[in-house]
Amino acid sequence: MARAARSSRGSSALRFGRFASMGTVAVLILIAGVWASWGTAQHAMLTKGRERGTVAVTWCGATACTGPYTPLSPGSQPRPEVELENSVAVEKGGTYPVVLKPGGTDAVRAGPAGILYAWVPLGGALLLASVVVAGGLLRTRTAWVMAVAGAVLLTAAFVAV
């Protein structure tokens, strides 16, 4: 009798340990996804009081594209050259709506395409965390919801960009 009670307490402690550690890993993955997304997303989403305009891309390098900035918001000044991150969504000859980061010449894509593109790291984090939730926490429904949300976010960003 004492032996059965001891083993159930041991398996209960192991179950709690697995739940705590896998839960921590899943939460850390999601926090990392939000952290990676927020640096760009805050500029694309919270445009009030920021300089908004368009960039006509004239040159693209390995990591950045540049072009003249034409302002659309009141108080914004035209600039001969601003820098936009070079990605699959930006190509030479295109004109893109942008928001300028404060105090510099760095620009971030604006509008729905820019917002969705900024949240791509969170979409990847949702997909990765869903595997941890399903395998480590044995919460398959929650994992499916996370995986579908991540896939929808990534697909929407792909289509919008």
pLDDT in tens, 132-146: 999 999 999 999 999
In terms of pTM, does the model score above 0.75?
yes
Do 50 and 73 meet the contact criterion of CB atoms below 8 Å apart? yes
Residue 104's pLDDT band, with cuts at 50, 70 and 90, is confident
- Encoded tokens for 29: 């993955």
Three-state DSSP at 54 gives: strand
Residue 95's pLDDT band, with cuts at 50, 70 and 90, is very high
What's the mean per-residue pLDDT of the chain?
90
Task: Answer yes or no: is pLDDT of 7 > 70.
Answer: no
Task: Answer yes or no: is pLDDT of 64 > 70.
Answer: yes
